[in-house]
């Protein structure tokens, strides 16, 4: 019985094992089938528009270029307001085929080279929208250079927060398109590549208040640290992007002070804050506090915020009609100016209660606004509380507002300070001496002449330039001795050029006779200009020698001799020599002669320039395709296109003759490059319809004026150009910046109205 029972048990166990084995196989088969079904279903799921677009664009990437992006540090989850760093990488398996722009910043406030694509297309906003849409006319451009692309990756990093403020938590995907890479040699100068990266995914988590407060305190601690090695810029950017109300309050407090390193981040943080109403309220309340410095930028930003917040009071529907669009911006500007004036008045009332640097910087702001509606303390009372950069700004750009006898002790003290090893301090010394000369001419003249005697002057050429053109025979030997023996030969050569008497000509000409063509270009041009002033015939022979010094052992000054000497001392003798060299075999010399004649030549130079352009046109007529070749790698072509440009500019921009519509049409016919013809077309457009005089007044100087395509930097230059128009010409008065410096505009209008009327022309409003 036992054996039978045992056998049955064994058989039962074997049967169960087989059954379990079969069941396991069935389960495995079911699992495998389910996975396959899922994979098939995933493949069948249609791609999103985001994925389709990225895949389609990336398919156009050259196979030998790699362009990838990744989240720095490999992170995938970020809190709202946390810095999100993106690392872009470029490389190529063909080292000599491509090159890449390394530009990493832009003066406009944000580099707009690469383009970011995010999915979903909601949940975020542009933190810099008001910066780029405020009608400021922002200037762009930034350094970076170009590198050949090879197998070693070139990395460019971005803080994604510059472009996106994530207002809604959630998951996002990103890819980048970039025009940075281009062929090293190409037929079409405009040809380039648009590369498309891979996509990365990240998550934005709701900001935790405790985390926000810790980040805020960490940033404040670093920004307030006395340790010069502290990374203040990283902390200011963390504060900029944090997005909390505490961060906004801290940005308001800090932005008014002079902090050149972090000022833009403070400004951008306020522009991009999600708490705009709180920022306005905070700025309005802190405006009058004793410890709040109020810079011009601070006041301007508050007025801009209020203008945008109250747009319903001034805005009408924007129209494509140019006149209505101009009216839109005019109403906006009027509202802004009124808002700023109200805040300036509040600030002026609060200044007596402000203390220390807050008082000094706030007064500096009011001086800059030409504030005259409220009695203000003299600048001398706060000058020592300002930083060197602020002091320099007041002396350089706001001198009319602060000049007075009370400034004399301060100017003397600034001038006497040593400037060794501190360029900024040296600028202050320079400015102080020039302003002292304006307030006390005899004292200033005595100090400037004393500086002339020094082998190592403590001031620069600008201080010496305030004296009138006159010779100092008693200093002749000092000038030449210092030039030969001391440092700062640039200054001493300039003193010889402006103030040396004819008595030292033998010594100067002997120096040039020995060293012309091998001395530094700056000094050589100054000494040649001196000789041209005192002995023109001898100078011309020396200039010929300078132009002939073209060997490898020379200092290669010859391509700039005409311009550098003509700028200092234009003369009939130099003009005649330049006309002679218009047919020199070296295009560099021809370009130099053409440019000098256009900038400093008389009306007698016009016809020779036309003849030279006609000759160039005959040589290159019908050869435009040759001129399109890669000028950066083909010097002969580069010189020819540069010569066309030089001739075009000289004939169209000279102050000595009027390039009217007839001459511009002739100029266009002579241009062989498309760019040259387009530039002339642009000038021709300025002659369509009425002829405007657009005046741009400046705070501390005359300013500038535009008449058709001419830009004139002085009243005398403007009158000279207007006198070249024919009798019967009618000009339309269109000053720039309505509501600012209106008194100066009206004064100029009356003067020009009289000037043109005497010449049979008319100026109308």
Main-chain phi, psi angles of 710, to 5 degrees: -95, 135
Is there a domain that residue 384 lies in?
Answer: no
User: Average per-residue pLDDT in the chain?
Assistant: 87
* pLDDT of residue 423 exceeding 60: no
CA 235, CA 287: separation in Å to the nearest integer?
25
Residues 6 or more apart from 602 whose CB is under 8 A from it? 572, 575, 656
Whether 101 and 180 map to the same domain: the answer is: yes
**Is the sign of the CA dihedral 716, 717, 720, 722 positive or negative?**
negative
pLDDT digits (tens, 9 = 90+) for 296-325: 999 999 999 999 999 888 876 554 555 666
CA 394, CA 378: separation in Å to the nearest integer?
12
Indicate the pairing of strand 77-79 with strand 200-205. Answer: parallel
Q: What is the CA radius of gyration of the chain?
A: 35
* Residue whose token pair is 């780029």: 132
Whether 173 and 242 map to the same domain: the answer is: no
* pLDDT of residue 422 exceeding 60: no
Beta strands in 93-163 (DSSP E): 98-101, 115-119, 124-125, 146-148, 154-159
Closest CA to 708 of 696, 719, 694: 694
Whether 120 and 156 map to the same domain: the answer is: yes
Q: Find the Cα–Cα–Cα–Cα dihedral 512, 516, 518, 520, rounded to 10°.
A: 70
Instruction: From 205, 239, 260, give the residue that closes a domain.
Output: 205
Whether 218 and 191 map to the same domain: the answer is: no
* pLDDT of residue 598 exceeding 70: yes
Instruction: From 205, 225, 242, give the residue that closes a domain.
Output: 205
CA 130, CA 332: separation in Å to the nearest integer?
14
Q: Tell me, what's the pLDDT at 136? A: 59
CA contacts within 13 A on the Cβ side of 495: 31
What DSSP state is assigned to residue 57? H
Is there a domain that residue 592 lies in?
Answer: no
pLDDT digits (tens, 9 = 90+) for 658-715: 999 999 999 999 999 999 999 999 999 888 778 999 998 887 678 899 999 999 999 9
The domain that holds 169 is classified in CATH as 2.60.40.2970
Is there a domain that residue 334 lies in?
Answer: yes
Q: How confident is the model at residue 17 (pLDDT cuts 50, 70, 90)?
A: very low
pLDDT digits (tens, 9 = 90+) for 101-116: 998 888 778 888 899 9
Whether 72 and 90 map to the same domain: the answer is: yes
Is there a domain that residue 223 lies in?
Answer: yes
Q: How many CB atoms lie within 10 A of CB 146?
A: 14
Whether 95 and 72 map to the same domain: the answer is: yes
* Residue whose token pair is 């002070």: 257
**Arithmetic mean of pLDDT, 338-351:** 93
Q: Between the CA of residue 706 and those of 146, 227, 663, 665, 713, what are the distances in Å?
A: 36, 50, 19, 21, 9
**Arithmetic mean of pLDDT, 109-137:** 87
Is there a domain that residue 747 lies in?
Answer: yes
Q: Tell me, what's the pLDDT at 634? A: 54
DSSP helix/strand/coil, 686: coil
Tell me the angle at which helices 388-397 and 423-439 cross, rounded to the nearest 10 degrees. Answer: 40
* pLDDT of residue 41 exceeding 60: no
Is there a domain that residue 181 lies in?
Answer: yes
Whether 91 and 198 map to the same domain: the answer is: yes
CA 738, CA 333: separation in Å to the nearest integer?
8
pLDDT digits (tens, 9 = 90+) for 163-194: 999 999 999 999 999 999 988 865 544 457 89
Residues 6 or more apart from 462 whose CB is under 8 A from it? 430, 434
Domain count, the chain: 3
Is there a domain that residue 444 lies in?
Answer: no
* pLDDT of residue 525 exceeding 50: yes
**What is the CA angle 223-227-155, rounded to 5?**
70
Instruction: From 357, 388, 421, give the residue that closes a domain.
Output: 357
Query: Lowest mean pLDDT: which of 25-39, 63-77, 457-471?
Result: 25-39
The domain containing residue 704 runs over which residues?
A: 691-764
């Amino acid at each position: 019985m036992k054996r039978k029972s045992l056998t049955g048990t064994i058989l039962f166990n074997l049967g169960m094992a087989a059954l379990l084995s079969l069941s396991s196989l069935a389960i495995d088969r079911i699992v495998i089938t389910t996975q396959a079904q899922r994979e098939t279903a995933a493949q069948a799921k249609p791609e999103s528009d985001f994925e389709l677009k990225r895949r389609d664009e990336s398919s156009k990437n050259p196979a030998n270029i790699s362009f990838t992006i990744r989240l720095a540090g490999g992170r995938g989850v970020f809190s709202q307001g946390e810095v999100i760093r993106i690392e872009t990488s470029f490389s190529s398996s063909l080292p000599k085929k491509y090159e890449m722009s390394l530009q990493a910043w832009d003066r406009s406030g944000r580099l707009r080279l690469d383009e970011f694509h995010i999915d979903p297309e909601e949940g975020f906003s542009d933190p810099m929208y008001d910066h780029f849409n405020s009608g400021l006319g922002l200037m762009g451009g930034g350094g970076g250079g170009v590198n050949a692309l090879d197998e070693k990756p070139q990395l460019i990093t971005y803080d994604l927060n510059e472009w996106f403020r994530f207002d809604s938590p959630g998951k996002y995907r990103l890819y980048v398109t970039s025009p940075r890479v281009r062929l090293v040699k190409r037929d079409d100068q405009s040809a380039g590549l648009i590369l498309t990266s891979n996509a990365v995914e990240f998550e934005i988590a709701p900001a935790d208040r405790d985390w926000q407060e810790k980040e805020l305190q960490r940033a404040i601690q670093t920004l307030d640290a006395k340790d010069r090695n502290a990374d203040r810029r990283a902390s200011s950017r963390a504060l900029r992007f944090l997005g909390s109300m505490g961060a906004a309050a801290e940005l308001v407090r800090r932005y008014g002070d002079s902090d050149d390193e972090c000022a833009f981040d403070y400004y951008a943080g306020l522009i991009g804050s999600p708490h705009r109403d709180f920022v306005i309220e905070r700025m309005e309340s802190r405006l009058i506090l004793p410890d709040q410095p109020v810079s011009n930028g601070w006041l301007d930003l508050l007025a801009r915020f209020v203008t945008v917040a109250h747009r319903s009071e001034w805005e009408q529907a924007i129209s494509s009609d140019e006149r209505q669009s101009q009216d839109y911006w005019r109403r906006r500007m009027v509202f802004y100016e009124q808002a700023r004036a109200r805040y300036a008045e509040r600030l002026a009332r609060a200044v007596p209660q402000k203390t220390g640097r807050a008082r000094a910087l706030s007064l500096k702001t009011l001086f800059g606004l030409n504030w005259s509606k409220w009695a203000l303390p003299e600048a001398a009372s706060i000058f020592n509380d300002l930083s060197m950069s602020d002091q320099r700004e007041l002396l350089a750009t706001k001198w009319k507002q602060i000049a007075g006898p009370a400034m004399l002790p301060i100017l003397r003290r600034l001038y006497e300070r040593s400037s060794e090893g501190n360029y900024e301090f040296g600028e202050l010394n320079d400015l102080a001496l020039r302003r002292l000369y304006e307030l006390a001419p005899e004292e200033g003249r005595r100090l400037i002449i004393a500086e002339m005697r020094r082998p190592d002057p403590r001031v620069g050429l600008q201080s010496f330039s305030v004296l009138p053109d006159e010779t100092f025979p008693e200093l002749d030997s000092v000038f030449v001795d210092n030039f030969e023996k001391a440092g700062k030969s640039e200054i001493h050569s300039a003193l010889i050029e402006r103030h040396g008497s004819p008595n030292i000509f033998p010594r100067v000409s002997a120096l040039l006779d020995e060293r012309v063509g091998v001395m530094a270009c700056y000094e050589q041009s100054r000494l040649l200009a001196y000789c041209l002033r005192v002995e023109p015939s001898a100078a011309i022979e020396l200039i010929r020698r300078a132009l002939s010094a073209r060997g490898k052992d020379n200092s290669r000054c010859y391509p700039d001799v005409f311009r550098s000497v003509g700028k200092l001392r234009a003369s009939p003798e130099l003009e005649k020599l330049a006309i002679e060299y218009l047919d020199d075999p070296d295009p560099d010399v021809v370009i130099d002669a053409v440019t000098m004649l256009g900038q400093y030549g008389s009306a007698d130079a016009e016809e020779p320039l036309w003849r030279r352009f006609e000759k160039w046109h005959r040589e290159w007529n019908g050869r435009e395709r040759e001129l399109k070749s890669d000028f950066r790698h083909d010097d002969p072509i580069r010189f020819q296109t540069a010569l066309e440009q030089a001739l075009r500019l000289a004939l169209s921009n000279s102050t000595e003759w009027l390039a009217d519509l007839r001459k511009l049409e002739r100029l266009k016919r002579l241009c062989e490059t498309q760019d040259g013809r387009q530039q002339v077309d642009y000038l021709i457009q300025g002659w369509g319809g009425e002829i405007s005089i657009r005046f741009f007044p400046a705070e501390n100087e005359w300013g500038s004026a535009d008449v058709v395509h001419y830009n004139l930097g002085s009243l005398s230059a403007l009158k000279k150009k207007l006198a070249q128009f024919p009798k019967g010409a009618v000009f339309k008065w269109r000053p720039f910046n309505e509501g600012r410096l209106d008194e100066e505009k009206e004064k100029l209008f009356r003067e020009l109205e009289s000037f043109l009327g005497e010449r049979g022309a008319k100026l109308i409003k």
